[in-house]
């Protein structure tokens, strides 16, 4: 199953670089500079002006697309590179693997890259192998990643850490811990390794393992690293471990903005509005606000007796700070709805440029909660026309809305039942 696909692994014929009207050195510097400036069009323009770009230039333009968020286009360029018979070097396949990982490509794509690299003699290169392991893990092929790992003549700490991360992302905590224990015979775990494991504990909800890792972090002297400290704190907060959060946060000599944000989210989930208010005031003194922080405070206000004035102040503060992502706007929509200010909710909803299914469901729920059943049904039909799937959790409320406006006889109930449950979930009985 994990044998590399040989479709791409034909012998390539390197082509000589012609002079063109720009030297490769100048072109490479320009492409790199445009990439640093996040100007993909500029980089692509330079590349397009070259008559026969060499391997370095192909690598750079593919890397530019990956770095600037268009990895699919990077893979298209790589196909052109292969079709043009351009020779590969040590940096080509790692860049392509980054593109495969970024698009969550399928197993066939990863296997084709692997096969081509083996055919060209890169199978023992540690940099390539590390990116190949990561690519296989991203397409949920940890077993294939492990095969690459086992065949490596030399491994470094990065190799072990990527493999541990792969097992964790696949939900195999036992394999991850087995690799971690084996790694310790060869390497001392660093901050990145510990952060990876702590994040895995959150995803797998393995809190007992998290406590053990906390102890190991202390013994290893890694708590000087702010990222490690915040990972430990986040792990306890995600697990709802009130006592551990209190103890660990009190032990921190200094809390940075990330630590405070974690604590705000935690105490908000615990309903401790007073502690949230104290921490939020502290955040405002430290530096720029983050959308996550404001969302946590707004959620706390909405769920635990906040008043309209406080919410409006936060709303204004968010606008002044330039915070306007859809998550924050959805939180504000929900806040105003819970205080009966449906007009504000509708206005926020109308101002969101790209509405997600979460926001659609929030708006429908707001109408239902405030007794605007006709409008709720209207949102439902609008979602249907746009192909947005309503959340199953609001099905009961929608039936209540239909019943209230006498729509049960008109076939609306049948439509609701089909839309909310038949799509991907099977038929409701």
pLDDT confidence bin for 9, thresholds 50/70/90? very low
- Do residues 27 and 166 share a domain? no
Cα distance between residue 239 and residue 233, in whole Å:
10
Cα distance between residue 265 and residue 292, in whole Å:
8
**pLDDT 10s digits, 211-230:** 999 999 999 899 999 999 99
Instruction: State which of 184, 218, 252 marks the end of a domain.
Output: 252
pTM over 0.85: no
Question: What's the domain range around 271?
Answer: 255-351
Cα distance between residue 309 and residue 324, in whole Å:
19
- Do residues 45 and 148 share a domain? yes
- Do residues 146 and 25 share a domain? yes
pLDDT at 15: 36
- Do residues 14 and 110 share a domain? yes
Closest CA to 77 of 36, 43, 29, 32: 43
Q: Which of 277-305 are b and which e, b meaning 16 or more Cβ less than 10 Å from the residue's Cβ?
A: bebbeebeeeeebbbbbbbbbbbbbbeee
- Do residues 4 and 143 share a domain? yes
- Do residues 359 and 326 share a domain? no
CATH number at residue 44: 1.25.40.10
Which of 2-6, 193-197, 256-260 ranks highest by mean pLDDT?
193-197
Output the average pLDDT for the chain.
82
The residue written with tokens 């890169």 in the block is 122
The structural domain count of the chain equals 4
**pLDDT 10s digits, 304-321:** 666 788 788 888 888 877
- Do residues 205 and 274 share a domain? no
On the question of pLDDT at 78 being above 80, the answer is: yes
Give the chain's end-to-end CA distance (angstroms, integer).
39
Q: Secondary structure of the chain: what % helix, strand, coil (to 5)?
A: 70, 0, 30
**In the predicted model, what is the mean pLDDT of residues 339-351?**
89
- Do residues 172 and 293 share a domain? no
Cα distance between residue 388 and residue 237, in whole Å:
33
- Do residues 164 and 239 share a domain? yes
Instruction: State which of 152, 187, 210 marks the end of a domain.
Output: 152
- Do residues 273 and 232 share a domain? no
On the question of pLDDT at 14 being above 50, the answer is: no
């Amino acid at each position: 199953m994990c044998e590399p696909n040989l479709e791409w692994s034909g012998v390539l014929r390197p082509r000589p670089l012609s002079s063109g009207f720009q030297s490769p050195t100048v072109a490479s510097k320009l492409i790199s500079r445009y990439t640093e400036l996040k100007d993909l069009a500029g980089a692509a323009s330079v590349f397009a002006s070259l008559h026969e770009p060499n391997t370095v230039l192909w690598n750079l333009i593919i890397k530019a697309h990956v770095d600037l968020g268009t990895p699919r286009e990077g893979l298209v360029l790589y196909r052109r590179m292969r079709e043009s018979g351009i020779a590969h070097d040590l940096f080509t396949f790692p860049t392509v693997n980054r593109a495969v990982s970024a698009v969550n490509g399928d197993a066939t794509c990863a296997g084709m890259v692997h096969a081509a690299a083996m055919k060209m003699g890169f199978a023992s290169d540690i940099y390539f192998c590390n990116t190949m392991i990561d690519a296989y893990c991203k397409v949920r092929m940890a077993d294939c990643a492990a095969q690459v790992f086992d065949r490596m003549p030399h491994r470094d700490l990065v190799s072990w850490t990527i493999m541990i991360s792969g097992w964790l992302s696949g939900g195999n905590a036992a394999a991850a811990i087995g690799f971690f224990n084996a790694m310790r015979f060869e390497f001392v775990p660093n901050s990145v390794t510990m952060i990876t494991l702590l994040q895995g504990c959150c995803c797998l909800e393995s809190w007992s393992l998290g406590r053990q890792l906390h102890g190991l972090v202390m013994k290893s002297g890694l708590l000087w690293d702010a990222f490690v400290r915040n990972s430990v704190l986040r792990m306890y907060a995600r697990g709802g471990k009130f006592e551990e959060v209190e103890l660990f946060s009190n032990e921190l000599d200094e809390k940075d903005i990330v630590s405070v944000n974690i604590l705000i989210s935690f105490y908000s989930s615990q309903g401790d509005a007073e502690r949230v208010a104290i921490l939020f005031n502290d955040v405002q003194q430290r530096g720029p606000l983050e959308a996550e922080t404001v969302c946590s405070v707004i959620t706390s206000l909405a769920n635990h007796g906040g008043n309209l004035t406080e919410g409006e102040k936060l709303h204004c503060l968010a606008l002044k700070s330039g915070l306007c992502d859809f998550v924050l706007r959805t939180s504000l929509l929900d806040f105003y709805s819970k205080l009966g200010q449906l007009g504000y909710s509708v206005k926020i909803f109308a101002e969101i440029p790209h509405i997600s299914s979460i926001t659609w469901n929030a708006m429908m729920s707001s109408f239902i909660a405030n007794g605007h059943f006709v409008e709720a049904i209207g949102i439902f039909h609008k979602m249907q026309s746009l192909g947005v799937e309503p959340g199953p959790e609001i099905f009961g409320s929608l039936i209540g809305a239909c019943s209230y406006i006498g729509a049960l006889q008109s076939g609306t109930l049948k439509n609701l039942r089909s839309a909310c449950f038949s799509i991907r979930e099977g038929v409701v009985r």
